[in-house]
Structure 1
Amino acid sequence: MSNSKKLFVVTGGTGFVGVELIHHIIGQGHRVRVLVRTPDKTFEALKNVEFAYGSVTDQELVNKSCEGCSGIFHVAGVVDHSRSAAPYVYKVNTDGTRVIMQAAIKNKCKVVFVSTSGTTAVSKDAKRIASDETDYAMDVISNWPYYDSKRQAEELARELSKKHGVPLKSLEYYRHKSIYKFLMKKVPWVPGGGLNFCDVRDLVPAIYKAMVTPEANGRTFLIGAVNMSLAQFFQALEKQTGIAGPKLVVPFSIGWSTISALNAVRRVAGKDPLFDKVVIEMAYHFWYFDAHAAQEILNFKARDWQVTIKDSVQYICEHGHLMGLPHGVPVLPAPRSKL
């Protein structure tokens, strides 16, 4: 614990990673100012937490919210893979990052930008293992609005950091909803791709460590525990839950045609698409990387991935009602989640 209590601003504080991060910062003896769009009861019982209400795209508001802070943890972002959502995604993810960096310049504070490994660590080649030095996967992500918006945000943040001398550290991890979809039996077949995942209990200390580690300045760190194919991942979930997972391995061309046809039928019926086409494309890529730099500089250490899966499944099944659904209905992890 630090001997000096500091004030840190957290954007996206009511989200998946943000909630855990706020608890961790408080545990280190500091204060937190959370930038949220609307009032939230998540932190009512916590001391040393205050709120600023508004959007990360509001420059005047963000400037004021960051007054007196030692650093900004920029975690906020829109995760929407649909191409139709591109304008809003770019506005929040790219323009919002510009606003955060301008606020850091004005208030002379450090920034830790929590982004996504999908800007670099994605390929059709299962043998390609990305590292912190890997170039952007432009051949893949240029037509995926979410990842391209994050790529633009990262480049913008680095440019402003160098120009104005703002200490910037970037962390990237892979976020996904695979456990939720599996428990809800929304995985009809096994796509031919692979993923990397990380326990939030291991991710968050690394995020905080980046803020307080001078050697992290100007660096980008990939944070992840293990690379595995989707087939292996679903087998592990089946073993853990007893729920029969998908067995049929479907080539991309057939999967694409099937989803396109099903979505067309649902559209005529006035229903939402079964799967967004970008998500189908993503499922046939490999999101593999190693985290050696984070291990060396941020002391990142991933726990056994089987423990992460076990704890995640248990939490989702026990706390589904927290998301407003009937008790026992599995949903995405609520605050204090495990994966």
Structure 2
Amino acid sequence: MLVTVTGGTGFVGVHSVAAVVRAGHRVRVLARDPGLLGPALGPLDVPPGAVDVVAGDVTDEVAVAAAVRGADAVLHAASVYSFDSRRRAEMRAVNERGTEVVLTAARRAVPGPIVHVSTVAALFPAKEIGMESPVGRPRETYMATKAAAERVARRHQADGAPVVITYPPALLGPHDPKLGDQTSRVRDVLRGLMPIWPLGGFPAGDVRDTAELHASLFTAPPATPARFFAPSHYLTTREYLAALREVTGRPLPAVHLPARAMFPVGRLADLAQRVWPWHIPAEYGALYTCACATRVATHADTRGLAPRPFTRTVTDTVRWLRDAGHLTGRQAGAVGQAPSLVAVR
């Protein structure tokens, strides 16, 4: 099977490409910068030449049509995942319009499956999220654009297209090519930049588990349009920090405050970020997530995949951050004394 992948140079995309190749499929990646693909795939033991690349953007109808032409299936993983207020226009273009362009082109050219990578955040706020959850109406730009993309995907499902939707949680793991939001947060905590935390929590998981879910959808495609949740754990922010303390052996002192009480700080940080050139770790989107996130229902379909232990995920993330030079050995704590990370799957 030839699988076209969008977002193949990003965190979810690159791990999914590796998992799909390991499952025996051919892959074609649509990438804005094809030169990023080789360095991103190199640490994941993807053989040279196993992946073709088409240059283009998901908002470019001509490039998307070329990328899906002749393919048997599509994995639409392209997305801007950020709580950085400076990227609002980019999120709306890529997350909303890009999804419409890709799914429309895929329906015309591909027999299926057409996998749209959504997020649990597209269903927030809710008391519990599961297979029948309605699309959320979150009051935060990233989540709102992913909710809009979710509506696009569900419309195509309702029309009978072979669209499959997956819901990854907040993801960690090794080999993050663009040092995304979640990986950066771990780095910032271990650099001592986040002494104040909101109460609440969020579903979290390992990018490699999400990648295995995606690979399974091409090896054994569902018979009808469907929705699947990537394996995850629900963690309070206290539990999240406890895992970091456990694997690093560092005290990591922190003060916890009610998330909603911190909203004004997050709003002010977002305003300041528009003129301040360096990233400010206090983000309204992260506070909003902790205030409204909820658990994934126990009956939600993960295709039988179980999440790996979160401490293992954190260990591999911190070790990779050290190996990649984003943390010093001292900042990585006990993990900093461990052998370097080779290929971890």
Shorter-chain TM-score: what band? Answer: 0.7 to 0.9
Residues 37-76 of structure 1: pairs in structure 2 closer than 5 A: 37-38=32-33, 39-40=35-36, 41-42=38-39, 43=41, 46-76=48-78
Once the two structures are aligned, what percentage of the paired residues are identical?
Answer: 25
Moved more, 209-218 or 188-197: 209-218
- Cα shift at 1:105: 1.9
1:157 pairs, out of 149, 153, 158, with: 153
Query: Is it true that 1:12 corresponds to 2:15 in the alignment?
Result: no
Question: Residues 31 and 54 of structure 2 are in contact (CA less than 8 Å); yes or no, is this contact kept in structure 1?
Answer: yes
Question: Residues 109 and 166 of structure 1 are in contact (CA less than 8 Å); yes or no, is this contact kept in structure 2?
Answer: no
Aligned residue for 2:316?
A: 311
- Cα shift at 1:57: 0.5
Give the TM-score normalised by structure 1.
Answer: 0.82
Counterpart code for 2:324: H
Per-residue CA deviation, residues 145-190 of structure 1 (Å, 9 max, x unaligned), is 2111111112112223433x42111001122344233222222213
Gaps of 5+ in 2: 171-181, 333-340
Per-residue CA deviation, residues 176-214 of structure 1 (Å, 9 max, x unaligned), is 344233222222213111021112222211112123434
Aligned residue for 2:130?
A: 131
Question: Residues 94 and 149 of structure 1 are in contact (CA less than 8 Å); yes or no, is this contact kept in structure 2?
Answer: yes
- Cα shift at 1:327: 9.1
Q: Distance in 2 between matches of 1:268 and 1:52?
A: 35
- Cα shift at 1:50: 0.7
Q: Distance in 1 between matches of 2:194 and 2:235?
A: 17
SS in 2 for 1:9: strand
Residues 136-151 of structure 1: pairs in structure 2 closer than 5 A: 136-138=135-137, 141=138, 143-151=139-147
The alignment's C-alpha RMSD in Å is: 3.1
- Cα shift at 1:310: 2.0
Alignment CA distance shift 1:263-1:85 (3 Å): closer
Question: Residues 74 and 110 of structure 2 are in contact (CA less than 8 Å); yes or no, is this contact kept in structure 1?
Answer: no
- Cα shift at 1:266: 8.1
Aligned residue for 2:21?
A: 26
2:169 pairs, out of 161, 174, 183, with: 174
Give the TM-score normalised by structure 2.
Answer: 0.81
Query: Is it true that 1:249 corresponds to 2:256 in the alignment?
Result: yes
Counterpart code for 2:57: S
Alignment CA distance shift 1:312-1:268 (3 Å): closer
SS in 2 for 1:232: helix
Question: Residues 269 and 284 of structure 2 are in contact (CA less than 8 Å); yes or no, is this contact kept in structure 1?
Answer: no
SS in 2 for 1:302: coil
SS in 1 for 2:28: strand
Q: Distance in 2 between matches of 1:269 and 1:119?
A: 29
Q: Distance in 2 between matches of 1:89 and 1:145?
A: 8
- Cα shift at 1:17: 1.4
Q: Distance in 1 between matches of 2:342 and 2:107?
A: 32
SS in 2 for 1:231: helix
Q: Distance in 1 between matches of 2:29 and 2:325?
A: 25
Residues 1-339 of structure 1: pairs in structure 2 closer than 5 A: 6-38=1-33, 39-40=35-36, 41-42=38-39, 43=41, 46-82=48-84, 85-110=87-112, 111-123=114-126, 128-138=127-137, 141=138, 143-163=139-159, 165-175=160-170, 176-177=182-183, 178-215=185-222, 217-252=224-259, 254-258=261-265, 273-290=280-297, 292-295=299-302, 298-320=303-325
